[in-house]
Structure formats: C-alpha cells, structure tokens
Amino acid sequence: MTSTPPRLLGAVLCGGDSTRMGVCKSTLPHPSGQSFLVHAARRLAAICDEVVLSGRTTQTTDYACIDDARPKTGPVAGVAACIAEAQRRDCDACMFTPVDMPDLQPSDLRRLYTAWLASPTKIVCACEAATLKLQPLTAVIPVALRHSLEQLAESKDRSLYRWINAQPHTTVTFTTSTLRNVNTPADRRT
C-alpha cells in the first residue's frame, strides 16, 4: 500500500501597497521576460499542488486571489487567510513566497519543501546566511497552526518573525542575493 504524498498550497504574497516602489510590484518586468507576479507564481507551481495569490494585484491572472481578512495590517492576515484556504483545499501546509524576491528560484523552494518533508509538523523558514535572520515570508507553514496564526492576526502584535521564533521550526540557509527584496526603484538596479 502506498501512502499519499502530502499536499502543498503555494501562495504568492502580493498584498502590499508598493508605496516605496510607486507602482504595483506584481507588474514589474522580471529579467525572465515575465512579470514579477508570473515569475513568483511559476516558481511555486514547480513545487506546489496548487497556487493562489494572497492579496490583490492590478495584473490579470488565472490564479485565485485570497483576500486579507484585515487589510493594511501587515502580511500575517494574508498568511492566516492562505493557511485557512490550504485547509479548505485539503492541503497539509502552505508554502509562501513574496512577489518582490526576483532572484528566488524553484530549486530554492525545492530545498524548503525537502526540509518540510523531513519535519512536516514544523515550520520551515528561509534564513539569510550572512545574518542568520529568518525571512518569515519565505516559508512552509503547516495547516495545523491555523488557529495560532488567526490569533496572531487578531492581536496587536502581529509580528510573523516573533511568532515563528516561538514555534517549533527549522531553517534553510540561503545567500543574501537569493533573498534580495525589491522595494524601491533603486533596489531594481542592484
């Protein structure tokens, strides 16, 4: 008898206002010739069973958009909504990646996935090699943590970073360049 492989929902975090960039980061052209959003969704699709978008984008796609229950309160509400969606879709966990990390590749996400398969009850989070700082928006979070995440989203302290540090988790180390964030026009040129 073969066991069913765990199911993983992929979620592109694209709910921010992009105020520092001045335009919706989802629509920025990626060096691959796609938009940042399409690049992010395709890298998740290479690993995950299904892909959704967390938040709204001005770009038209075929991906389902999962609205934040509490917009403009940071990413944790979107993360909690995606975990709930993952549970509705009978997934075991949700893999998150921000839309504004253009250098992250499917092979990088495969490393997160492999680490999660080894410890499926733990959060698996990207960690920057130079600083050993967690990158909480590049992570795999089990659906079993839904209630805890929903409580965090309703609290005054909605720090996903502190929440992950307080949970059983493991990390996968990446170079600083792999985890590079593009938040301003100047960031695109580096």
User: Is residue 2 a part of any domain in this protein?
Assistant: no
pLDDT band with cut points at 50, 70 and 90 for residue 156: confident
User: Is residue 48 a part of any domain in this protein?
Assistant: yes
Look up the CATH number of the domain holding residue 46: 3.90.550.10
pLDDT band with cut points at 50, 70 and 90 for residue 158: confident
Residues forming beta bridges with residue 32, ordered by sequence position = none
Q: Is the pLDDT of residue 38 over 50?
A: yes
Name the residue range of residue 40's domain: 8-188
The rounded distance, in Å, linking the Cα atoms of 124 and 115 is 7
Q: Pairing mode, if any, of strands 93-98 and 123-128?
A: unpaired
Task: List the strands of the sheet with 169-174, edge to edge.
Answer: 64-66, 50-54, 8-13, 93-98, 134-142, 123-128, 169-174
Among 22, 10, 161, 16, which residue's Cα sits nearest to residue 100?
Answer: 16
- What does residue 89 show for φ and ψ, rounded to 5 degrees? -90, 10
Q: What's the chain's average pLDDT?
A: 85
Q: Specify the 3-state DSSP secondary structure of 148.
A: helix
The rounded distance, in Å, linking the Cα atoms of 150 and 186 is 35
In terms of residues, how long is the chain? 190
Backbone torsion region of residue 81, taken as left when φ is above 0, otherwise alpha when ψ lies between -120 and 50, otherwise beta: alpha
User: Is residue 183 a part of any domain in this protein?
Assistant: yes
- Extract the tokens encoding 81: 């909504």
Amino acid at 39: H
pLDDT of residue 2: 54
User: Is residue 24 a part of any domain in this protein?
Assistant: yes
User: Is residue 1 a part of any domain in this protein?
Assistant: no
Q: Specify the 3-state DSSP secondary structure of 173.
A: strand
Average pLDDT over residues 70-93: 88
Average pLDDT over residues 30-44: 86
pLDDT band with cut points at 50, 70 and 90 for residue 190: very low
Q: CB-side exposure of 92: number of CA atoms within 13 Å?
A: 15
Torsion of CA 94, 73, 21, 182, to 10 degrees: -40
Helix/strand/coil percent split, the chain, to 5 = 35, 25, 45
Tally the domains of the chain: 1
Q: How far is CA 4 from CA 11, 59, 61, 109, in A?
A: 22, 35, 30, 21
User: Is residue 157 a part of any domain in this protein?
Assistant: yes
* Whole-number percent of the chain with pLDDT over 70: 82
pLDDT band with cut points at 50, 70 and 90 for residue 148: very high
User: Is residue 3 a part of any domain in this protein?
Assistant: no
